[in-house]
Amino acid sequence: MNRPTIGVVSLSMGRRPDDLARGLASLAAQTGVTLDVVVVGNSWQPAGLPAGVAGVFLTENVGIPAGRNRGADHVSGDYIFFLDDDASIPSPTFLADAVAKLRADPSIGLLQPRVEDPTGVENPRRWIPRIRKGLATESGDVFSVWEGATLLPRAVFDATGGWADPFFYAHEGIELAWRVWDQGLRVFYAGDLVAHHPAIEPTRHEYYFRLNARNRVWLARRNLPWPIVPIYVASWTGIQLIRSVKRPQGLRAWFGGWMAGWRENPGGRRRIKWVTVWRMVRAGRPPLI
């Protein structure tokens, strides 16, 4: 079988040079694949990159999804892999093994590996993209992804329309997963493949709460059939209120984002098909919560 060709996009603001170097070194160590690697500088001029790694300079911070999309415009290959600048892949056969899974089962349209902190500290449960988390080593279908290390066939990625540019940050991994499912494919969590990432909690500032709420509404408005939109938003509003009983900080910013989600333009609409909703229901994850 032909050697896989993979376009790789790493997005960086230049603030983690050691982590970025580690991630790029882990890519250079990959065997059995041919890579086309680009580092996208989000308001940063990429510098000091290894030989063979291209740099793309964005004059302003366009956000995480849009930055990844700009990188995708500059790489080629039958597959595309997104690797955050603070992530790395410890096994030199990681990409070859991941592609082998996709080739063995063409119904898989997107793959996320298990994520571990290499220092051995406890890994956040949020890295397992399931409501019922289970064991981190347990593989299976999922309906969202941790975006820091994701692999797709290039044709599948292009058919999704790419990452959600307007989101800037938060929930773009849900939309991408939904749009893969909408192609009649599956999103797969591979518990036997490992990516490394430091176990750092995201900063809970007002902007964080605002974007999480706004993008949750936008996610529904952009992707769900209209009868489901209010149910989805209402369920997540209820979940947020329950979560805020003991930790009310950020709730005001969250509701500010919630209102913005209804007032502001989410950047277009391409709803998933009813048959996709049914497939998700049958797979145990209806797009209602």
Q: Are strands 140-141 and 79-83 parallel, antiparallel or unpaired?
A: unpaired
pLDDT tens-place string over residues 30-82 = 999 999 999 999 999 999 999 999 999 999 999 999 999 999 999 999 999 99
Mean pLDDT of the chain: 95
8 Å CB contact between 142 and 77: no
**The one-letter amino acid at 227:** P
DSSP 171-188: SHHHHHHHHHHTTT-EEE
SS3 of 36, please? strand
Say yes or no to pLDDT of 288 above 90. no
pLDDT of residue 221: 98
pLDDT of residue 205: 74
Distance CA(187)–CA(150), nearest Å, equals 10
Instruction: Dig out the tokens for 126 from the structure.
Output: 């949020």
Distance CA(34)–CA(6), nearest Å, equals 6
Instruction: Dig out the tokens for 181 from the structure.
Output: 């499912």
pLDDT tens-place string over residues 181-224 = 999 999 999 999 999 999 877 666 788 899 999 999 999 999 99
